[in-house]
Amino acid sequence: MNQPIYVLLVDDEEQFVVNMARLLKFRGFDVVTAPDGNTALKTLANDGPFDVVILDIKMPGMSGLTALAEIKKVAPQTEVIMLTGHATVESGIESIRNGAFDYLMKPCEVELLADKIREACEVERIRQRPVLWPRNLVKEITWPSFIKLYADDPADKALDVFKRRSGAPAKENLYVLDADDRFAGTVNRQHLLDAARRAHPQNQIEWKDLVDAPACLPPVTLAEIMRTDYPITTDPEENLTAVAQRMIENNIRAMPVVENEKVKGFIRLQDIFKYVEQETI
C-alpha cells in the first residue's frame, strides 16, 4: 500500500489554512500546517521530512522567500510550491531560481494544487540544477505543440481534452481555431455543461456526471457553443517580462502565441520565471 504524500501547508491566513488542509486531507494527503516561516522550519526539524511544502510569500516575520531559502538548506530533497495572493514577476523569478517547484496564484482550485503536489512528488530529484542561459523573447520559449480544436469539431472532442486535464481550473478556456488556424473562439467546461443541461432539462447535470456519461452531451459542434470574444494573446517578439506581468495581472498561467493572426503555440508563466533575467526587471 502506497504511503500518503506528506504535506506542510504554511500560510498566515487561518481560515484559508483550515479549509485547504481539510480539502487536501479529503483527497488523501497527510497535511500538517504552520502559520509562518519560523514555525515551518521548527516543524520541518521536528516532524519532517515532508514530501512537499506549500508556502505563502507574504507572511509576518520571515517572508516566504526567506523561508524557501532556509527550507532548501535544511531539506533540499523537499519540493516547495509557492502559493500566493501577492504575485509579482520578481517574486516568481526568485522563487523558481531558488528552487521552488512551481509558483501558483490565489485563488487556486484545490484540484490544481493537488495535481501539482502529486507532480512534484513524481519528478526525479535533480540535486544540481543546470544553469539556464538567458532568454528574453516569447519566441525563445514558445511551446509549439498543442491539441488543436476547430470550430466544426464535435463538442465531445473538447470534453476529451478537459478530461485529460483533470486538475485544470474550471474557468480554463480552450482555444478554437478556424480552418486557417486563426482564432474562432473559446470554450470552457461551463459551455459544455450548459449544452448538456439544455439537452436534458429534466436532469441536474454536474461536471462529474458529464465526465462519467459523455453521452449527455448533445451532438453539437464547438461553433454552436463557443464564445467568439478574442482572448489575451502575445506575439513571438514580445518581451518576456512584459508578458509575465500581463499574465499575473489577469491570473493566467498560459497564453497563446499569435503571429499573422495564426496560433503558433503557447507560453507558460513558470517557464518565463525560469529563463528571464533578473536584470531585465
* Residue 54's CATH number: 3.40.50.2300
- On whether both 117 and 222 belong to a single domain, the answer is no
Q: Are 217 and 253 in a shared domain?
A: yes
Q: Which of 96-110, 155-169, 182-196 has the lowest mean pLDDT?
A: 155-169
Higher pLDDT, 60 or 280: 60
Domain that holds residue 259: 138-280
243 shares its domain with 198: yes
37-47 helix and 64-74 helix, angle to the nearest 10 degrees: 20
Cα atoms found within 13 Å of the Cα of residue 157, Cβ hemisphere only: 17
**Band of residue 21 on the pLDDT scale cut at 50, 70, 90:** very high
Q: What is the maximum alpha-carbon separation in the chain?
A: 60
Among 64, 94, 122, which residue terminates a domain? Answer: 122
Q: Domain check: are 144 and 273 in the same one? A: yes
Q: What is the pLDDT of residue 280?
A: 42
The pLDDT value recorded for residue 90 is 86
> Is 154 in the same domain as 275?
yes
* Calpha distance 33→13 (Å, rounded): 11
Task: Convert the pLDDT of each residue in 167-197 to its tens digit.
Answer: 555 557 788 889 888 888 889 889 999 999 9
How far is it, in rounded angstroms, from Cα 2 to Cα 50? 15
> Phi then psi for 266, rounded to 5 degrees?
-135, 155
Same domain, 146 and 272: yes
Mean pLDDT value across the chain: 84
Q: Answer yes or no: is pLDDT of 252 > 50.
A: yes
Q: What is the pLDDT of residue 70?
A: 93
- At 35-72, the pLDDT tens digits run 999 999 999 988 878 999 999 999 988 999 999 999 99
Average pLDDT rounded to a whole number, residues 210-219: 91
Positive or negative, the CA dihedral 105, 7, 164, 139 is: positive
- So what's the pLDDT on residue 166? 57
Strand partners, 258: 263
Q: Is the dihedral of CA 163, 167, 171, 174 positive or negative?
A: negative
- Count of domains observed in the chain: 2
Own/partner long-range contacts of 42-46 (Cβ < 8 Å, ≥24 apart): 43/8, 44/8, 44/71, 44/74, 44/75, 44/78, 45/74
Regarding whether 16 and 92 lie in a shared domain, the answer is yes
146, 262 Cβ separation under 8 angstroms: no
Residues 8/10/14/20 CA torsion (nearest 10 deg): -50
Please tell me whether residues 154 and 111 are part of one structural domain: no
CATH number at residue 147: 3.10.580.10
pLDDT at 277 over 60: no
Judging by DSSP bridges, how do beta strands 262-268 and 183-187 pair with one another? unpaired
On whether both 270 and 158 belong to a single domain, the answer is yes
